[in-house]
Structure 1
Amino acid sequence: MKKFLRTLALGAALATTCYAHWTYDRIIVNGEVIGEPWQYVRRHSNGNNFLSDVTSNDMRCNINGDISGANTSTYPVHAGDQLGFTIKDTFGHPGPQQVYISKAPADVKDYDGSGDWAKIYTLSNCETKGCGTGDGTVKWATYRAQTFNFKLPAEIPAGEYLLRAEGLAIHAAQKVEGAQLYVACAQIRVTGNGTGLPGPTIKVPGDYTANSTGILIPKIWSQITNYTSPGPRLWPAGTEEVHMLDGKVKE
């Protein structure tokens, strides 16, 4: 009987862990979920598991995501469209959600993501008015989400791009390499008249370190009273982090 109970408890713990993890498998364009899972998002071999070594090339498009472009379709979008990702499972941990773009030098199917990346979106913590408890600790806009949406900048030049989703779970980030990163890349072909120069840009890997602000936090997540997301400033200039207000994501 004791063995059965231990087995049952272990199964429940594994189910909880699996439920808390996630990956990205489809894109959303102007409110419509597009295609089949992995049709426009590069399939990786990491399941819904996280990455913790921010110096690894896997941080670009996840494990084997750099070589799966040839088997991934590229979806046409227009500069200024509303885009998004669907999540397989759910954002089951506290932390921000960010989106980066990198222009391919030619066919995005052949691009490994070694070029420049600009950050275009951050969905982060709740603003004070909508946090509910009034205790000063950070609440998270992404918790238990199953989709998220953002605007592709109207300024983005035409071309083929990797669109990289990055979810950062910080529930163990008070220790070095305790932060959990979940990443995947979609392939898009942008049309329009944008003439902006995305930036500031970073390399992936290259910008994040194990001790970066937002990657390593000073104390357990439930006790922190403010949070700064990792990475460069958002592009275009003047773009602000998205927060929650009164229990809803601000659009």
Structure 2
Amino acid sequence: MKLPQSLAVLLAVSAVSGSPAPLKKRHYTFPAIDSTSDWQYVRQTTNYQSNAGLADVNSDQLRCYQAGTQGAKSTMAVAAGGSVTFKSSPNIFHPGPIQFYMAKVPDGQDVTTWDGKGEVWFKIYAEKAISSGGQLSWASLNKGSFSATIPKNLQSGDYLLRIEHIALHQASSTGGAQFYISCAQVKVTGGGSGTPSPLVSFPGVYKASDPGIKINIYSAAGTYTPPGPPVWQG
């Protein structure tokens, strides 16, 4: 039976207007640290409205997924050896590892405008996978927050603290992994004399074919090695 034109138009409009909502709920951002206001200490991300992940590992957006060139409003002081907790909004919906990186703001540069370009990033945390029945999973799934510990021997100064969640539910094909990223501005106090290494760049450190990025987590044998450099132990 042919629908009346007015009803057909109404159904079509309803379908279009209703389709983004379920999709958005499956995506997420990391907009705040330590129970502060959204985007107060975290640089507003390109996906702050859509919540969508980033797939292109060669994009400059892999650095901080930042909207525009202006940094966050404020910089949070955190003691070396202390922790910083990122909020996920909404909860992390997809399986995959959380990783944390940091980059020290060069002398003479302003943390609110520095772009983090170049081989300046070092890894401070990589979430381990859980292997069971030939499949991989991660404890971060469905979590609403995740904490990073600032290395105790890290030098004092201004840093970008980068959280990265790699969603691997569609990663069996090249370009299927999704990156959810934010950068917080922090001032490390009471630090030591450590020299982080190795230093890497975003983009540049990842390839789409890396085994920690292109992988079928539902038929994975053995252990999982996350992409990027080893964690700096301080």
Q: In 2 relative to 1, CA 141–9 (structure 1 residues): closer, same or farther, beyond 3 Å?
A: farther
1:155 and 1:197 map into 2 onto residues whose CA distance is 9
Structure 1 residue 26 corresponds to structure 2 residue 32: yes
Give the aligned partner of residue 140 of structure 2.
Answer: 142
Describe the SS at the equivalent of 1:83.
strand
Unaligned ranges ≥5, structure 2? none
Q: 1:153-180, CA deviations, whole angstroms, 9 ceiling, x for partnerless residues?
A: 1011001000001010011111111110
1:66-116 CA distance string (max 9 Å, x none) = x121x5211111100021200111211111011100001132112101131
Rate the CA distance shift 1:7–1:185 in 2: closer, same or farther, 3 A: same
Matched to 1:117, the amino acid is W
Provide the rounded CA distance (Å) in 1 between the counterparts of 2:91 and 2:117. 29
Contact kept in structure 1, 2:54 and 2:180, CA below 8 Å: yes
Larger Rg: 2
**What is the distance in 2 between the residues matched to 1:174 and 1:184?**
25
Letter in 2 for 1:160: D
| CA RMSD between the two structures | 2.2
- 1:153 pairs with one of 147, 151, 154: 151
**Alpha carbons 2:155, 2:193 under 8 Å: kept:** yes
Once the two structures are superposed, the pairs formed by residues 151-190 of structure 1 within 5 Å of their partners are 151-190=149-188
- C-alpha distance in 2 between matches for 1:229 and 1:97: 9
Give the 3 Å change call, closer, same or farther, for CA 14–203 of structure 1 in structure 2.
Answer: same
Question: How far apart are the structure 1 equivalents of 2:201 and 2:136?
Answer: 29
**Residues 9 and 96 of structure 1, relative CA distance in 2, 3 Å threshold:** farther
Tell me the CA shift for residue 64 of structure 1.
2.5
Q: SS at 1:200's partner residue?
A: coil
Deviations 1:123-182 (A, max 9, x none): 2322x5xxxxx5232122111111011211101100100000101001111111111001
Give, in whole Å, the separation in 2 of the partners of 1:224 and 1:68.
41
Aligned partner letter, 1:64: A
Counterpart for residue 232 of structure 2: 235
Q: Which moved more, 1:36-45 or 1:7-16?
A: 7-16
Which blocks of at least 5 consecutive residues in structure 1 are unaligned?
A: 129-133, 238-251
Equivalent position SS for 1:118 = strand
Residue 120 of structure 1 contacts residue 153 of structure 1 at CA under 8 Å; is this kept in 2? Answer: yes
Q: Could you tell me the TM-score, scaled by structure 2's length?
A: 0.86
> How far, CA to CA, are the matches of 2:233 and 2:127 in structure 1?
16
Q: CA deviation at 1:6?
A: 8.1
Q: Deviations over 1:187-210 (max 9, x none)?
A: 001111311111111111111011
- Tell me, yes or no, if structure 1 residue 223 matches structure 2 residue 219: yes
1:1-251 superposed matches below 5 A: 14-28=20-34, 33=35, 35-47=36-48, 48-64=51-67, 67-69=69-71, 71-105=72-106, 106-115=109-118, 116-126=120-130, 135-217=133-215, 219=216, 221-225=217-221, 226-236=223-233
Distance 1:198 1:15 in 2: 42
- Cα 1:148/1:186, change in 2 over 3 Å: same
Amino acid at match of 1:224: A
